[in-house]
Copies of this chain bind each other. A is one copy, B any other.
Amino acid sequence: MTGPAPTPEPPYWAVIFTARRTDQPDDSYEQTAERMFALAAKQPGCLGYDTAGSDELSITVSYWESEAAIAAWKADIEHLDAQRQGRERWYECFELRVARVERAYAFTRPAS
């Protein structure tokens, strides 16, 4: 992962997922998270994602063409199982926000 994710001209959609992990070590978390990133990236309408953080606080923002694409990903059967495990085992708390990106500005350092 390098990031930031390249995205088209707005409007498009963002799902902002901020989460704090429980204190219980659990190897299955990392594995499942990687699997979910790969699976999401292949979903129709997914424009990319960025993720950063630690056990204390992680932020993942995924970008989508439409609300319908977000709804389809939310209902993916493997993703549903990961969501269940997240609530049961991995997360102390999280907040999920669905937002419509209205404007975007990109900066890339000029080659020197």
| A residues neighboring B (CB under 8 Å) | 1-5, 7, 10, 14, 16, 18-20, 22, 50-54, 56-59, 61, 87, 91-109
Contacts and interface: CB of A to CB of B under 8 A. Distances in A.
Given A57-B2, A99-B99, A18 B50 contact: yes
A73 to B, nearest CB: 14
A101 B94 CA distance: 16
A57 B100 CA distance: 22
A50 to B, nearest CB: 5
Nearest to A60: B59
A53 B57 CA distance: 9
Contact of A97 (B3, B97, B101): B101
Contacts of A18: 3-5, 50, 52, 61
Given A19-B4, A52-B58, A109 B97 contact: no
